[in-house]
Structure 1
């Protein structure tokens, strides 16, 4: 009897300890700092990750209808503040830019950039490198007529390689990636690479593949949310393959930099790499290092290739899904540019429908839905809510672009929404695909030029149709989502006009 009483007492004690433990975990998990933004907490250790699905930006936008535009969500073990409307994003990234311009430490991304480059660094290093980047890119043609001529030349190469398909179905991804990357390579590396260059083709294939593959993209997204999974199969296996591709691209860029060093002439810098080496040799700023050069070049190469390539692919997919838009584009192109003339940026002012089409692509298929994450470097109050120092801030650009208060029926693709009653294009201040504030995209000017010249030049010469042998074209609302939201693979038929 004593034994039974002892076991019973011990069991009761164990239950009490477990109950207390559960209470403490629950209390810790669901407690909030005073006056913090409202929002869901999810479950211990995972937070709301099991509920965000493939498109967290859409889920956040839905939740914000209940919690408000400034919302706190627990992703894994970390609290994120998600800004879900234009006003709160402006308040943080523009009006309070001195506080919200830092970057959070995310292991899944740190393994790539190693606290170098320009996209994910912050503080004095970022200010120094961004200033150098802006002035150097301008110095080598970005925003000038010479850059426009390079883009026009690359379009000619692309059109010739498309013609070689003789109207047969093909996946435009690889050719387009190569062509777009050559524009940034001409500035950064001082050269373009032929479409038959096997090494460069492998580099661009690995680059585009990491974005367009749904499994890789989704895995990277999950690892951003829950870093602890980086060492857990199958996430670790997929991440390992992704990092193999990253290292392959870095090895290629190391070769390019090494070649530059062998032929470097400090009196005659040829491109961005030479200009950076010149700064390294001057030794006036300790932020100019070998690793910084490599990662900066990688940032420019990846961002300068992927954003424009994916925007153009969304354009082709939209034209195929909505053939009337392609007809209107071509009619305007024939009227303003003609059948044979070289497309220039001067044509843009006389092409309201084309401008509206591009604006709607930027709005309708937001390429970086949750923006590149920010972090506040000090305690701050915004929108009446307290946000403690070092909180990750996500700007939901998708929510801004799909706000029904400013865009009627935002789920519909309607270029006409950007044209006024006089038939003129009206640029929307609420279409912000390149973000806002001091950390907006470094290559925005080049990207906008590329999209216009590539799109107009290609529609001028080809009619794009779906592969008649394909049973199903990817839906326009679906895509591969990770750091970016890009179209799934699809084939087109490019019929010469």
Structure 2
């Protein structure tokens, strides 16, 4: 090769790399300047904390002394909001409500077209979310529901009976329970009854729900950092270990998709227009109406319904149960918290009745404890990434159309300027001097605005009923010789989840 041409080519490559690696958009938030083509700053994030991206981004905010961070994930400019003010602004403004294409969402659909609710945007998302909120409202999605409370009470009573009478079960043996799987089954059962009209009972029912829970957990396990890496650095799928993880993700998704499809076709085969008993029934009716009217542009389709069932199944299987699992860890690490809740329940609730939602207003310490675990172990630390749908100004900076917008709820909930000692689990921070629950809650575990989690009411009610119902009847402790749980060691993912543990269950007299 001509040496002159080689030198010219080398100079051009160096110039291009230098121009690219140090280039940042105008009026971009503070953040690292040097970034690598195709990788962006993602490598430095992984090197900082391979398992927990939210912690790595939190450290970056501290390093650059900014509540708003600007960086590149792969080739995509990205803004990270990390305090209450910036997060609320991001979540409330309509121009930041778009979604990005993610591996975990694209795996689920044919031909790369986004469906469902979690990962969609625009008219499809608004219409579908509104429909399901309306038809699931009677089951605690958005308001208190007598139907939900009755079913929830029955579910907890069944669990209490199970713990008192069962002698040998995969989830409960020799007086020891597998936490939090035990909680996942009831929550998933309640959700599916409202969504698909199915109620799983008996030993076989528990085994089926347990398998769905395990599949969603394993899917979550491979989604971080594998799926995040493949979202921002797609060609990494050809490299180990990502190639193997992608195969596992695909197989697990196929399992969840099969359940959703089977459930949908079961309701369709037994559909009775005069007997609408769940949200899927109402959806099928809407779908048939669109077909009869020849509406080829409708969003009410079988493919869409399958993905909605999958969305709800995934979130209900490991979110509430995960938070309860983190809370039961604290009952072991801070046994005085469990004792205080039991004493409060004994004072407020008669021993011959189960606690119910009417007792919430009087169980201040219990409610404070639930708020504290939602802060201490943020359910979805980075939420689902948003996308700017147009050029916009944000917190004094400029964001171009297509910019990825991330809310670091974990960093907000661990801000020492707000919480003083955020690293400590301390329910009292939510109580006033009289021991009453403070009216103002500065946490945002379920988000805010149009992307607010539709299951917030359902989740809070479930958590309250499980905590009060179980602690009224049992005391949970570490089995003899068992290792003390490490609450800093948990499963990463879109939503975090504690590792399973076995706890001794002792009936209270």
TM-score normalized by structure 1? 0.92
Correspondence for 2:98: 102
**Equivalent position SS for 2:506:** strand
Say which is worse superposed, 364-373 or 173-182, in terms of deviation.
173-182
Q: Distance in 2 between matches of 1:92 and 1:289?
A: 32
- Aligned residue number for residue 146 of structure 2: 145
Distance 2:223 2:384 in 1: 18
Retained in 2: the 8 A contact 1:167–1:494?
Answer: no
Give SS of 2:19's match: helix
* 1:196 alignment counterpart: 204
Cα separation, 1, equivalents of 2:140 and 2:437:
28
Deviations 1:440-479 (A, max 9, x none): 1011111111011011111111111123232x33311221
SS at match of 1:115: coil
Give the Cα separation in 1 of the matches to 2:163 and 2:81: 42
1:314-353: CA deviation from partner (whole Å, max 9, x where unpaired): 1101111111111111111111123331221110100110
- Which residue of structure 1 aligns with residue 491 of structure 2? 480
Aligned positions of 1:295-306 closer than 5 A: 295-306=307-318
Over residues 77-102 of structure 1, what are the superposed CA-to-partner deviations in whole Å (9 max), with x where a residue is unaligned?
Answer: 222110111101112211x2x21111
Write the distance in 2 (CA, Å) between the matches of 1:50 and 1:187.
Answer: 43
In the alignment, is the contact (CA less than 8 A) between 1:356 and 1:425 conserved in 2?
A: yes
Question: How far apart are residue 148 of structure 1 and its match?
Answer: 0.8
**Alignment partners' CA distance in 2, 1:170 and 1:144:** 30
Residue 4 of structure 1 corresponds to which residue in structure 2? none
**Alignment match, 2:374:** 362
Are 1:100 and 1:377, in contact at CA under 8 Å, matched by a contact in 2? yes
Q: Is the 8 A contact 1:169 1:493 kept in 2?
A: yes
Counterpart in the other structure of 1:208: 217
Equivalent residues of 1:345, 1:449 under 8 A apart: yes
Alpha-carbon contact 1:473-1:490 (below 8 Å) kept: no
Any residues of structure 2 matched to 1:30-429 within 5 Å, and which?
Answer: 30-40=22-32, 41-52=34-45, 53=49, 54-65=51-62, 66-94=64-92, 96=93, 98-112=94-108, 114-139=113-138, 142=141, 143-163=144-164, 164=166, 165=172, 168-194=175-201, 195-197=203-205, 198-211=207-220, 213=221, 217-283=224-290, 286-429=298-441
Cα offset, 1:208, TM superposition = 2.8
SS in 2 for 1:420: coil
Identify if the C-alpha distance between structure 1 residues 109 and 467 changes in structure 2 by more than 3 Å, giving closer, same or farther: farther
Does residue 1:27 correspond to 2:19, yes or no?
yes
Per the alignment, do residues 186 and 468 of structure 1 end up closer, same or farther by CA in structure 2, a change over 3 Å counting? Answer: same
CA distance in 2, matches of 1:279, 1:76: 41
Partners of 1:119 and 1:299 within 8 A in 2: yes
The answer on whether the counterparts of 1:29 and 1:44 sit within 8 Å (CA) in structure 2 is yes
Q: Quick one: distance in 1 between partners of 2:77 and 2:89?
A: 20
Partner of 1:3: none
Kindly indicate whether residue 484 of structure 2 is the aligned counterpart of residue 492 of structure 1. Answer: no
SS in 1 for 2:451: coil
- Aligned-residue RMSD, C-alpha: 2.0
Following the alignment from structure 1 to structure 2, what is the Cα–Cα distance between the partners of residues 343 and 389?
50
Query: Is the deviation greater in 188-197 or in 260-269?
Result: 188-197
Q: 1:228 to 1:337 in 2, by over 3 A?
A: farther
Separation (CA, whole Å) in 2 of partners of 1:426 and 1:290: 46
Contact between 2:107 and 2:253, CA under 8 Å: does it hold in 1?
A: no
Which whole-Å CA distance do the structure 2 matches of 1:376 and 1:221 have between them? 19
CA 1:80–1:200: 2 relative to 1, 3 Å: same
State the number of aligned residues: 484
Query: In 2, Cα distance between the equivalents of 1:431 and 1:200?
Result: 31
Alpha-carbon distance in 1 for matches of 2:238, 2:441: 43
Q: 2-side partners of 1:141 and 1:311: how far apart?
A: 18
Q: CA deviation at 1:357?
A: 0.2
